[in-house]
């Protein structure tokens, strides 16, 4: 078993190496708040606070920080962090091109933000927690960053997405070998060596991390994909806040089980 530090460092190298390709391949919009591949954004799901103007927001595992940029465009004051400098460079490039100001920080989500940052109204993250070898610690850190009444809103890989889509006789469906010990999503290099992994934990286990951190769970959302049956590629790109051609190949499957789970939590 690799040490946690080594897993985090390997993740950093992986995301630095693929940052440019990831941002080129995936179409991530800045005029909605996205939760993951093919699923509706917040303009449809309405999980964000109604008015974010003036709210202090912190995003971890931000990638190119499109969600923070969306919030900044609505008047929020945003800090966004990621372990990959290359991803943050993309964030800085996009924010400059949009003339939006956010603060980016190079750090792992397992690290505590310096006390000087104070407390936040909203801590958020999309599809990043699964890459941490210490997700329970990350949730506890986030809880400690919230003002009373503050919101933690995050999406991560749904545990059913660890399953395998199988064709059996004339039928097809999802095969889940072990819900409680999910198969990790392992990324390999050309030599077949593992370079990163994500784990999509059981919902109950994630709920325990949240409750143990002293937060209340307000919503658990398991979104179905945006309806795309009659859309061509261009329409799909317009309709889906986080889209790529390769993700669109999962569309028929993802009508039957969720790709992400979203937790909306509040500090009492």
Give 15 or 161: the residue with its C-beta nearer to ligand SAM.
15
DSSP strand pairing (27-28 vs 103-106): unpaired
Least distance (Å) from ligand SAM to the CB of residue 36? 7
37 binds ligand SAM (CB under 6 A): no
68 binds ligand SAM (CB under 6 A): no
Query: If you write DSSP's letter for every residue of 122-175 in order, what string do you get?
Result: EEEEES-GGG-S-HHHHHHHHHHHEEEEEEEEEEEE-GGGGSEEEEETTEEEEE
**46 φψ region: left (φ > 0), alpha (ψ -120 to 50), beta (else):** left
The span of 57-65, 146-154, 244-252, 257-265 binding ligand SAM (CB under 6 A) equals: 57-65
Give 40 or 61: the residue with its C-beta nearer to ligand SAM.
61
Among 30, 38, 48, 62, the residue binding ligand SAM under the rule CB under 6 A is 62
Least distance (Å) from ligand SAM to the CB of residue 204? 23
Size of the site for ligand SAM (CB under 6 A): 19
Least distance (Å) from ligand SAM to the CB of residue 101? 19
Tokens of 243: 């889209």
DSSP strand pairing (103-106 vs 164-168): unpaired
Among 82, 243, 263, 265, the residue binding ligand SAM under the rule CB under 6 A is 82
Binders of ligand SAM in range 89-128 (CB under 6 A): 108-110, 126-128
162 binds ligand SAM (CB under 6 A): no
19 exposure class (CB count in 10 Å sphere: 0-12, 13-18, 19+) = buried
The span of 37-45, 79-87, 217-225, 255-263 binding ligand SAM (CB under 6 A) equals: 79-87
Least distance (Å) from ligand SAM to the CB of residue 131? 4
- How far is 70 from 136, CA to CA, in rounded Å? 27
Judge whether 15 and 86 are in contact, CB under 8 Å.
yes
| For the chain, the helix, strand and coil percentages under 3-state DSSP, each to the nearest 5 | 35, 25, 40
Q: What are the CA-CA distances from residue 227 to residues 30, 165, 168 (Å)?
A: 20, 20, 26
Least distance (Å) from ligand SAM to the CB of residue 149? 24
Binders of ligand SAM in range 3-32 (CB under 6 A): 8, 11, 15, 28
132 binds ligand SAM (CB under 6 A): yes
84 binds ligand SAM (CB under 6 A): yes
Provide φ and ψ at 2, rounded to 5°: -70, 150
Least distance (Å) from ligand SAM to the CB of residue 206? 17
Tokens of 67: 């969600």
Tell me the residue number closest to ligand SAM, measured at CB. Answer: 63
Reference 145, options 105, 176, 97, 112; nearest CA is 112
Query: Could you list the residues that contact ligand SAM (CB under 6 A)?
Result: 8, 11, 15, 28, 61-63, 82-84, 87, 108-110, 126-128, 131-132
């Amino acid at each position: 078993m690799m040490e946690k530090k080594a897993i985090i460092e390997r993740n950093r190298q992986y995301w630095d190496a693929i940052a440019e390709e990831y941002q080129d391949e995936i179409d991530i919009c800045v005029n909605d708040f996205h939760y993951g591949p093919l699923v509706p954004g917040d303009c449809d799901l309405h999980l964000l606070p109604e008015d974010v103007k003036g709210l202090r927001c912190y995003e971890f595992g931000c990638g190119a920080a499109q969600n923070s940029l969306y919030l900044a465009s609505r008047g929020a004051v945003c800090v966004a962090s990621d372990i990959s400098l290359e991803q943050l460079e993309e964030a800085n490039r996009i924010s400059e091109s949009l003339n939006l100001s956010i603060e980016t920080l190079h750090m792992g989500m397992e690290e505590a933000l310096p006390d000087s940052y104070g407390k936040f109204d909203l801590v958020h993250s999309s599809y990043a927690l699964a890459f941490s070898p210490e997700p329970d610690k990350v949730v506890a850190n986030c809880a400690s960053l919230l003002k009373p009444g503050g919101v933690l809103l995050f999406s991560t890989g749904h545990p059913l997405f660890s399953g395998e889509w199988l064709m059996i006789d004339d039928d097809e469906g999802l095969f889940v070998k072990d819900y409680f010990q999910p198969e990790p999503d392992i990324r390999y290099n050309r030599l077949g060596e593992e370079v990163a992994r994500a784990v999509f934990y059981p919902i109950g286990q994630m709920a325990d991390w949240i409750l143990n951190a002293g937060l209340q769970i307000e919503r658990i959302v398991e979104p179905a994909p945006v309806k795309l049956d009659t859309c061509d590629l261009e329409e799909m790109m317009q309709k889906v806040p986080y889209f790529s051609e390769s993700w669109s190949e999962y569309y028929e499957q993802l009508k039957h089980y969720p790709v992400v789970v979203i937790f909306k939590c509040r500090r009492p």
